[in-house]
Amino acid sequence: MAAYQRAEAFSRIYQAAVWPGLLSLSGPGSDPFHPMARLALSALDMVVDALGIGSILDAACGDAGWMVAHFLGRRPNVQYTGIDIVKHVVDQNRERYPRYDFLLADLCNFSTGNILPQVDLVFSKETLNHMYVQDAVAAVRTLQTTGARYLVVNIHRGAPNLLGEKKGGHQNYAPYDFALPPFNLCKLHKLVDCNSDDWTEYSLFALQSMVIEQQQVGPETGSQQG
């Protein structure tokens, strides 16, 4: 799908409030009191403290409300860059939070000349799940260009990643496990469980050790493991 079509799709999602939270148009999971936001904070705190992280790329940042108020407010020494595909969201973030950097870019098609900053850590909360699996693979390749050693991301353990080829639209969610093909990231550690019923967790991955298969996405052979 062309970059402008992706951007238009996500712009319409925001404008139509398809994912309405009480405080955030990025979705209820971006409300600061939502369990997914609180669990994301726990995961980020663990990694930043343990690994001495000094710079983070947030992909995608959405309206960045919970991140700015409840993480960056406690981490004045962390250099933060948020990236999003929706122009008016990026513009609003620049006005609201001038202390931080926000970039407009399509992670799935990074041939536009934009350059991502070099960072220690990439953080992605439920962003890749709204991409088709082919786009998600391209996005992870793009994130590698940051030189970041680490990726903190939510996963569904043992997910059939192939289902992400045919999901209904950008507004729909596909479960992914980035330790499995076609992503093949090296999982370093489970950080925090999200929901035992759907095998979800925040995990720490080694971003630069990625080996992506070049052939077309094929059927999954793995099974869920506890």
pLDDT, tens digit, for every residue of 112-129? 556 899 999 999 999 999
Mean pLDDT of 97-120: 86
Task: Write down the pLDDT at residue 31.
Answer: 61
Q: Which residues pair with 192 in a beta bridge?
A: 202
- The whole-chain average pLDDT of the chain stands at 82
Residue 52 confidence (pLDDT) above 90: yes
Task: Write down the pLDDT at residue 9.
Answer: 58
Q: Is 208 exposed, middle or buried (0-12, 13-18, 19+ CB in 10 A)?
A: middle
Query: Is the peptide bond prior to 182 cis by the omega test (within 30 degrees of 0)?
Result: yes
3-state secondary structure of 114: coil
Other Cβ atoms less than 10 A from the Cβ of 138: the count is 18
Domain ranges of the chain: 3-209
**CB neighbour list of residue 211: distance below 8 Å, 6 or more residues apart:** 184
Q: Letter for the amino acid at 120?
A: D
Residue 54 confidence (pLDDT) above 80: yes
Mean pLDDT of 19-33: 56
Query: Pick the residue with more confidence: 70 or 111?
Result: 70
d(CA 48, CA 55) in angstroms, rounded, equals 9
Query: Pick the residue with more confidence: 132 or 56?
Result: 56
Query: Is the peptide bond prior to 206 cis by the omega test (within 30 degrees of 0)?
Result: no
Give the tens place of pLDDT for each residue, 183-214. Answer: 999 999 999 999 877 899 999 999 997 544 43
Considering only 21-25, 83-87, 116-120, 153-157, which range has the smallest mean pLDDT? 21-25
* CATH code, residues 3-209: 3.40.50.150
Q: Predicted confidence band at 30 (pLDDT cuts at 50, 70, 90)?
A: low
Query: Pick the residue with more confidence: 102 or 12?
Result: 102
Task: Write down the pLDDT at residue 148.
Answer: 97
Query: Pick the residue with more confidence: 14 or 154?
Result: 154
Give the tens place of pLDDT for each residue, 161-179. Answer: 988 887 666 667 899 999 9
DSSP assigned state of 39: H
Entry pTM: 0.82
Task: Write down the pLDDT at residue 166.
Answer: 75
- Write out the H or E segment, with its range, that includes residue 37: helix 35-51
